[in-house]
């Protein structure tokens, strides 16, 4: 079925925004699963979609108002998921340093006995 006339910028952007929403949803899922290498791949994909929205001529295509809330929510979820992952990594590193320090003290005490 053919359309009558060319797609409007809002129609064109709608498909890109839907794609971006799907990528963001997958990023949130991957962060929660700890699959950070996949998150990195998805960042590159999201960048390409965003570049499509911005277009080569520097003009941004209008994002349909119906997608604003979805994008804000997904970016907020992604931000929280990444922050939680960073906290988890920080906590694990702190524990690792404590264990390493304790092992060093134990080894040092054994050598003097």
Q: What pLDDT score does 107 carry?
A: 78
Mean pLDDT of the chain: 83
Question: By mean pLDDT, which of 9-13, 28-32, 49-53, 83-87 is the weakest?
Answer: 9-13
pLDDT digits (tens, 9 = 90+) for 60-88: 767 777 788 888 999 999 999 999 999 99
pLDDT digits (tens, 9 = 90+) for 35-56: 999 999 999 999 999 888 887 5
d(CA 22, CA 46): 10
Read off the pTM: 0.69
Query: Greater confidence, 91 or 66?
Result: 91
User: Among candidates 7, 5, 27, 11, which has minimal Cα distance to 71?
Assistant: 27
């Amino acid at each position: 079925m053919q359309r009558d006339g060319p797609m409007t910028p809002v129609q064109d952007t709608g498909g890109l925004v839907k794609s971006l929403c799907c990528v963001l949803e997958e990023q949130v899922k991957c962060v929660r699963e700890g699959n950070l290498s996949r998150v990195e791949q998805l960042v590159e994909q999201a960048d390409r979609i965003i570049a499509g929205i911005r277009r080569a001529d520097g003009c941004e295509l209008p994002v349909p108002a119906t997608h604003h809330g979805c994008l804000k929510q997904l970016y907020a979820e992604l931000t929280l998921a990444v922050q939680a992952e960073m906290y988890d990594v920080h906590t694990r590193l702190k524990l690792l340093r404590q264990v390493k320090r304790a092992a060093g003290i134990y080894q040092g005490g054994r050598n003097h006995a």
